[in-house]
Amino acid sequence: MAAKSIDHAFTATDMTGAASDPTYAGALSFMRRKFTKDVAGTDVTVWGVPFDAAVSNRPGARFGCQAMRRASAIFDNDPQYPFHADLFEALSVADYGDCLLDYRLPETAHSLIEAEAEDLLAKTGFLLTLGGDHSITHPLLTAHAARHGKLSLVQFDAHQDTWPLAKDAQGHRRVDHGSFVKAAVEDDLIDPATSIQIGIRTHAPEVCGLQILHGYEIEEMSATQIAEAIYERTGGTNVYLSFDIDCLDPAFAPGTGTPVSGGPSSAKILAVLHHLKNLQLVGADVVEVAPAYDHADITAIAGATVALYVLGNLAEKKGR
């Protein structure tokens, strides 16, 4: 246990080590990590992308970054379950804050996200992004592919996000939260042959070559079997993990823009994530948390816990 302190996000002198703020007080960075724009040399940088102008249903995911940071306060101080350890004893993690976007010019958002992600990836070992709607994954994939080469996408989602790419009057391609996978395949950012989608409960016109584990299939599979399918598909390649919170059934994640019944529980999917510590993970995001539709922070807590499991797996891998 760290010495008692308050506002660890501002008073911390190191990127490692637990905080001791009361759960109900203190500056709300993600898991009380130090707020800083100097992330050079860190193992992980957490940042927020508060953008939701590319949704086809209910807006509100722009507030997801704040909600997950707030929910993450309950994780601090104790050894983190199920990792049996202070994740920050050796893993240096900073909270960079949020990407600055102009709400008057939503068409500029993706290029700004990509540029800032590229800048951060040049300084930090791993970028963990809190969204934001799922369209932000396209510029994130662009930035990560520029650094790591073509990626394998592991996508937890109720939707395939492979809808046709519309164009505006000037012929510019429009990428929204339902078409980013289609765009990623067209742009050669991901390899469909090593990519997989888990929890799909809707139809789209195209599969685009990705493997799909439908909602009804994972209902009958164990967490170990789901993880084994992910390992088999990705085959040791560089993996980008994108977690749309609507992968979970609305009973476990009501606070999202396009909920779909028939999904898995948070317990089952967290068990899957715990099995994925041996993936060659190079980046991750948690998106589509829309707290205006939430109840008692259920969805924000689920989203923050997914991010916690990403950090836990990275910490365990570093500690080997």
Q: For 275-318, how does the pLDDT look when each residue is reduced to its tens digit (9 = 90+)?
A: 999 999 999 999 999 999 999 999 999 999 999 999 999 999 98
State whether residue 247 is helix, strand or coil.
helix
Residue type, 273: L
Checking if the pLDDT of 166 tops 80, the result is: no
pLDDT of the residue at 1: 42
Distance of CA 283 to the CA centre of its chain: 8
pLDDT of the residue at 173: 80
Residue partners of 201: CB distance under 8 A and separation at least 6: 158, 159, 214, 215, 260, 261, 262, 263
Average pLDDT (235-263) is 97
Residue 301 near residue 270 (C-beta atoms within 8 A):
no
Residue type, 280: Q
Q: Residue positions in the annotated binding site for Mn(2+)?
A: 134, 157, 159, 161, 244, 246
Checking if the pLDDT of 12 tops 80, the result is: yes
pLDDT of the residue at 86: 87
| Domain locations in the chain as residue ranges | 19-101+111-164+175-318
Checking if the pLDDT of 237 tops 70, the result is: yes
Residue partners of 109: CB distance under 8 A and separation at least 6: 51, 53, 101, 102, 136
pLDDT of the residue at 77: 66
Residue 238 near residue 148 (C-beta atoms within 8 A):
yes
Residue 189 near residue 145 (C-beta atoms within 8 A):
yes
Average pLDDT (240-264) is 98
Residue that wins the pLDDT comparison between 262 and 77? 262
CATH 3.40.800.10 fits 19-101+111-164+175-318, yes or no: yes
* Strands (E) located in 206-267: 211-214, 238-244
Q: Residue positions in the annotated binding site?
A: 134, 157, 159, 161, 244, 246
CA separation (Å) from 312 to 31, 45, 94, 277, 307? 12, 14, 15, 8, 9
Q: Which of 12-26, 101-115, 230-244 has the lowest mean pLDDT?
A: 12-26
Q: How many Å apart are CA 137 and CA 197, to the nearest integer? A: 14
Average pLDDT (73-78) is 80
